[in-house]
A and B are shown apart, each in its own frame.
Chain A
Amino acid sequence: MEIADIKKEKYTIVEIAGRLDTTNYQELETNLQEKLDAGARNLILDCTNLEYVSSSGLRVFLMFLKKIKGLNGKFFVCSMQDEIKEIFKISGFTSIFDIYENRDQAEAAM
């Protein structure tokens, strides 16, 4: 998995690429927590190149959705591949996350 940030004035885009699973979910958890600790409140997770996510990875998504909502921030997810969309659907995540088809839409909603 690779994580890259694009900092904007009012939010940060986090690009996640590759596989997010039991072996590396803690990397994402640490990465996002550091952003919150540094004062970030609005995040867009760009999943264009996310190829696979297991329940360990989804746990991190949910954890930060809750944390950021608690901080009155925004946590958007965009550009999911069909397989990832399907996993979100199975998890019942489609209704609780703000999901956008592409990055432009997510940025416009920020």
Chain B
Amino acid sequence: MMEKLVLKNRVDELQKLNVFIDELLEKWSMPPNMGVNVNLALEEVFSNIVFYAFDDDKEHDIIFQFDQLKQGVNITVTDAGKAFDPLQTPPPDDLEKPAEERHIGGLGIHFVRSVMDEISYKRQDNKNVLRLTKYNSRENRA
């Protein structure tokens, strides 16, 4: 089973993404805690693209493709913005530090890495293609 959602690079499109994820995961009978993780990861990916991928003021498409797996879901996010490989972003180095020394920001990609089971990135046909996988539970990992 495959479903697709195309959004514009505007912050207010986020709500469509939330509704789409919640409805789809319910339809695919995924466990409820998966919804929070998928929402969290995709919001971070989506807002990174909206804020940083495009320098012009034009509207651009951000494509979310959801593939149902036997024990989870694969999500492929495609945009034609500037090349950006989130896997090259170093993890935050201040997670153990006291509040005064913590940076405000820099958590987004860390969230994606933490809540998803697998992540891969490729630059293809001048597009960023980010693939995220979440399994029903870690025990079921294929």
Question: A residues engaging B (CB < 8 A)?
Answer: 19, 21-23, 52, 54-56, 58-59, 62-63, 65-66, 69, 83, 87, 90-92, 95-97
Give min CB distance, A62 to chain B, whole Å. 5
**Given known contacts A54-B43, A69-B100, A92 and B95 CB-to-CB distance under 8 angstroms:** yes
| Further 4 A-B residue pairs, CB within 8 A, beyond A23-B15, A96-B102 | A54-B47, A55-B107, A92-B92, A97-B99
A55:B102 contact, CB within 8 angstroms: no
Residues of A within 8 A of B40 (CB): 52, 54, 87
Give 10 nearest A-B pairs by CB, closest first: A92-B95, A55-B107, A96-B99, A55-B108, A90-B114, A22-B47, A83-B36, A54-B43, A65-B99, A59-B104
Q: Can you spell out 25 A-B residue pairs with CB atoms less than 8 angstroms apart?
A: A21-B18, A21-B43, A22-B43, A22-B47, A23-B15, A54-B39, A54-B47, A54-B108, A55-B105, A55-B108, A55-B111, A59-B104, A62-B104, A63-B104, A66-B104, A83-B33, A90-B110, A90-B114, A91-B110, A92-B92, A92-B95, A95-B96, A96-B98, A96-B99, A96-B102
**In whole angstroms, what is the CA distance A97 to B102 when docked?**
12
Closest chain-A Cβ to B95's Cβ sits at a distance in Å of 3
Interface size on B, residues (CB 8 A): 29
Give, as a whole number of angstroms, the nearest-CB distance from B40 to chain A. Answer: 6
B115 / chain A contacts, CB cutoff of 8 Å = 90
CB distance from A52 to the nearest CB of B (A): 7
Q: Flag if B43 contacts A69 (CB, 8 Å).
A: no
